[in-house]
Amino acid sequence: MKKYNVRADKRLGQHFLVDTRPLMAMLEAAKLSPQDEVLEIGPGLGVLTTELCSRASRVVAVEKDRQLIPILEDLTRDFKNICILEADVLKLDMEKLRKDHFNGGFKVVANLPYYITSPIIMKIIENRHLIPLAVLMVQKEVAQRLTAEPGTKDYGILSIAVNMYADVNMVCTIGKEAFLPPPKVESAVVQIMLRQKPREEVDDEAFFFKVVEAAFGERRKTVRNSLSRRLKIQGSDSEAIDQALKETGIDPMRRGETLSIKEYAELSKVLKCKISE
């Protein structure tokens, strides 16, 4: 940072990793082979980038901060397998990215800006046909939500949305002192192994998530009351909801955060049929 006269941009949520221990944990979790191709999001000052270049056949590093591009180019000048793109990853067309820069599917390894963590994770999930594995450094609170079990305080919509399509493992936790400048929160590394088929088959994924969102809409209310108040779909009246809960064997007095993905899948299937009758 002194050499290039760089300061972290708070607006972009920049915290540069200065501890190599979590870096090594990320690389191990990525299970890189010499044939692998990797997308790195937010390479920053290239600490992770150079290690990826040493291990993978191809690395595409996407950086939004224009001031870092020439620095990254200088730091990676000895590598021929690196492509640095100045872009906002949320605006990138992943299909076009694959076509232009990769030979096939690619892994994602990234120290994510915390203010856009959830949208990036959902973009990875949506493009799981291209991405078999993602290893991400995220806010510890987000990692806990990604790995949460039903009935715990961290279990929510994000837990279900990700675990419907992936197996998530907590790799390690990271203290504030591992970054410069230190963030206000602790961090963690998660390994996300994408599934090509959802954990539970549902006929209508959009309806499934409407049911989940409605059930979590009022966490302190029962699943029956939350669905009755929040599920704004024609035909989804209290009678249809009561019948669906009865047929699936779900106690209407339970709260939405106690239901498993399997129970939500069964409930959405039966409820969809009740509404269509």
Range(s) within the chain of domains with CATH label 3.40.50.150? 10-194
pLDDT of residue 277: 65
* Beta-sheet pairing, 166-174 with 187-194: antiparallel
pLDDT at 275: 84
For 133-170, how does the pLDDT look when each residue is reduced to its tens digit (9 = 90+)? 999 999 999 999 999 999 999 999 999 999 999 999 99
What is the pLDDT at residue 177? 85
CATH of 10-194, one of 3.40.50.150, 1.20.120.10, 3.30.420.40, 3.30.2350.10: 3.40.50.150
Percent of the chain with pLDDT strictly greater than 90: 73
Reading the block at residue 193, the tokens are: 């192994």
State the pLDDT at residue 274. Answer: 83
Phi, psi of 151 (to 5 degrees): 90, -5
Mapping DSSP to helix (H, G, I), strand (E, B) and coil, where does residue 74 land?
Answer: helix
Low-confidence ranges of the chain (pLDDT < 50): none
> Any idea which residue has 């200065």 for tokens?
18
User: Concatenated DSSP letters for 15-68?
Assistant: -EE--HHHHHHHHHHHT--TT-EEEEE--TTSHHHHHHHHHSSEEEEEE--GGG
pLDDT at 93: 97
Q: What is the 3-state secondary structure (H, E, C) of 179-217?
A: EECCCCCCEEEEEEEECCCCCCCCCCHHHHHHHHHHHCC
With beta carbons less than 8 A apart as the criterion, state whether 41 and 110 touch. yes
Long-range contacts: 194-198, Cβ < 8 Å, 24+? 194/124, 194/125, 194/128, 194/131, 194/132, 194/133, 194/134, 194/165, 194/166, 195/128, 195/165, 195/166, 195/167, 196/128, 196/129, 198/164, 198/165
CATH number of 205-276: 1.10.8.100
Intervals of CATH 1.10.8.100 along the chain:
205-276
- Look over the chain and give the mean of its residue pLDDT values, rounded to a whole number: 91
d(CA 262, CA 201): 9
